[in-house]
Amino acid sequence: MSIRTPSTTQSRQALLDLERTKERLSLNQTRISSGNRITRPGDDPTAAAAILNFGDSIQANTQFVRQADAAIGFLTSSEDVVASAISSVERLQELTQTGSSSSAAEVDSIRTSLLSLANTQSQGKYLFAGTQTQGTAAHPLPFEDAAAPAGPINYWGNSGSITLSVTGTTTVSTNIPGDTTFFGAGGQGSNTDLFKAVTDLRDGLATNNTALITTASANLKNSLDNLIKVRTDLGGRQSGLLDLKDTLSGFNVTLEGLQNTQQDTDYAKAATEYSSDQTIQSASLSVMARTNKTNLFDYLA
């Protein structure tokens, strides 16, 4: 009679198989408890790389959305100021029709209000100073009355554009310089200079100078046209940024879905594999226990 006893090789292989089963049990247990199919890059290198790429894109898009929000805030504040300036100019146009010297005081009040609007700050920055948003030691305000209360209004900002990246390849200007807004295309002292038109109107009303009032009225129309153009520009930029935000947010929803597809645990599959490996582990342990108890006396009994 031949006696067969388990070989060292067979025992070693059985132990290796049991160890692999235990690793699969541990992995699926982690997947089920964490909800993540991939707990380490080695679980699925290709999927792990895709998840990382999706995450990088989502993070970049989220940052662009934040920057778009900041740009929209600055543009909205600027548009609100311009809208107020438009209302003031419309009132000034009404006053050109009165021809009354008593209206000169109201014109002065509106002039002061317009100067204040031109020096409006948002988020600690002057809206209409170009890139000189903090002012300077010599000229802390972008617009100053050279001879208060009714001298020429000087502009100490610049014509610089403040740009902000809103995608990897797209930038948007978040400001319109003060000279463009309040002096118009002709520049300071021209027939598009809002402050000059206001001062001329006040002087014309105060002295009953019909010709000066007529000139001021025409120049106020030029200034109003310019302000409406500026407001339209600001509104268009905001609209474009809002559309971009919607697009980026939509991209992120799609990317998050793809990321979850790669990352999320398939609970039904994980549970089935876990149950199967439990059965295999129990069977393996049972077989090994019986095998290890087999010896020569078992065969002689």
At residue 301, the pLDDT reads: 47
179 and 289, same domain (yes or no): no
289 and 220, same domain (yes or no): no
205 and 274, same domain (yes or no): no
275 and 137, same domain (yes or no): no
Query: In sequence order, which residues have a C-beta less than 8 Å from that of residue 22 and are 6 or more positions away?
Result: 281
At residue 140, φ and ψ (nearest 5 deg) are -65, -20
At residue 51, the pLDDT reads: 76
At residue 299, the pLDDT reads: 45
100 and 199, same domain (yes or no): yes
Cα–Cα distance, 75 to 179 (Å, whole number): 17
Burial (0-12, 13-18, 19+ Cβ within 10 Å), 266 = exposed
Q: Which of 104, 105, 76, 59 is nearest to 204 (CA)?
A: 104
Element holding 163 (H helix, E strand) = strand 163-165
DSSP 8-state symbol, 152 = P
Biggest CA-to-CA distance, the chain: 137
Cα–Cα distance, 109 to 8 (Å, whole number): 103
Does 276 map to a domain?
yes
146 and 254, same domain (yes or no): yes
Q: How many domains does the chain have?
A: 2
- Bridge partners of 172, per DSSP, are 164
* Both structure tokens of 184: 């118009």
The one-letter code for the residue type at 187 is: G
208 and 228, same domain (yes or no): yes
Does 36 map to a domain?
no
Domain that holds residue 64: 51-259
Does 160 map to a domain?
yes
192 and 125, same domain (yes or no): yes
**Is the CB of residue 115 less than 8 Å from the CB of residue 153?**
yes
Digit-by-digit pLDDT tens for the chain (301 residues) are 455 555 666 666 666 655 666 555 555 556 555 555 566 666 677 777 777 888 888 898 899 899 899 899 999 999 999 999 999 999 999 999 887 878 999 999 999 999 999 999 998 899 999 999 999 999 999 999 987 666 789 999 999 999 988 888 888 899 999 999 999 999 999 999 999 999 999 999 999 999 999 999 999 999 999 999 999 999 999 999 999 999 988 988 888 777 777 765 544 555 565 566 566 666 666 666 666 655 545 544 4
Instruction: For strands 143-145 and 153-155, give the pairing.
Output: antiparallel
Query: In sequence order, which residues have a C-beta less than 8 Å from that of residue 254 and are 6 or more positions away?
Result: none
Give the rounded distance of the alpha carbon of 19 from its chain centre. Answer: 50
286 and 202, same domain (yes or no): no
SS3 state of residue 264: strand
DSSP 8-state symbol, 97 = T
